[in-house]
Amino acid sequence: MAIYRDHIFPRVLEYVLGGRHPMEYRRRVLATARGQVLEIGFGTGLNLTCYPDKVERLTLLDVDRLLPRRVQKRIAATSFPVEMAFLDAARLPFADASFDVVVSTWTLCTIPDVASALTEVRRVLRPGGEFLFLEHGRSEDPHVARRQDRWNGVQKFVGCGCNLNRPIDDLVSAAGLKIAELDRFQMPGVPQIGAAHYLGAARHA
């Protein structure tokens, strides 16, 4: 299982989430990133080429070291300082109001204690700061949502903890973040059970 998690699964993610459509949505959600930025669940660093020049410093946080050589190569190509921390997002080691922006892309589906992680996101955001998110989650179609519930256990096993059926907007709002923008869409080329996506920005009230 360790070989699958550390070597096979990261390459599957690279293939699936590094395609044309996912990369277009990455660039879209990150377009307003600026100042001091924290990215939770950076994975293999696919977001690094999508950040705009207004980013002054980027802190990357994850619990796993996925494809480290590839990540280091991507970091070396950035135009702004980048630092990494391998920690649980549910317990962030940063002072209150440390960041202008917090970013999450295809991460909230996997964090075991996602409610605590989002509460921490709110804590480390500066007043007026933004939480930018791009996530798959629970479908608006009740028939698809029931299938997501039925297959979620299998998905968690195959996807190393990834859940199909989390209502991302409800989770963000429950953490005390005010959603300012939200686009619900179906990711092209993805099976219906995993195609429902949420792209948005929430603000520290």
Query: Cα–Cα–Cα angle for 65, 69, 73, nearest 5°?
Result: 120
* pLDDT given for residue 2 in this prediction: 76
The 10s digit of each residue's pLDDT in 125-160 is 999 999 999 999 999 999 999 999 999 999 999 998
Residue 127 tokens read as 């007043």
Please give the model's pTM, rounded to 2 decimal places: 0.95
Q: Are 33 and 58 within 8 A, CB to CB?
A: no
In which domain, by residue range, is 111 found?
2-204
**Confidence bin at 30 (pLDDT 50/70/90):** very high
Tokens describing residue 44: 């293999």
CB distance 165 to 135 below 8 Å = no
Number of separate domains in the chain: 1
CATH number of residue 189's parent domain = 3.40.50.150
For residue 122, the tally of other CB atoms under 10 A from its CB is 20
Neighbouring C-alpha atoms within 13 Å toward the C-beta of 146: 2
| CA 125 to centroid of chain Cα atoms | 16
pLDDT single digits (tens) 87-122 = 999 999 999 999 999 999 999 999 999 999 999 999
What is the rounded distance in angstroms from the CA atom of residue 189 to the CA atom of residue 202? 27
Q: What is the DSSP string of 44-106?
A: T-GGGGG--TTEEEEEEEESS--SHHHHHHHHHT-SS-EEEEE--TTS--S-TT-EEEEEEES
The pLDDT value recorded for residue 13 is 85
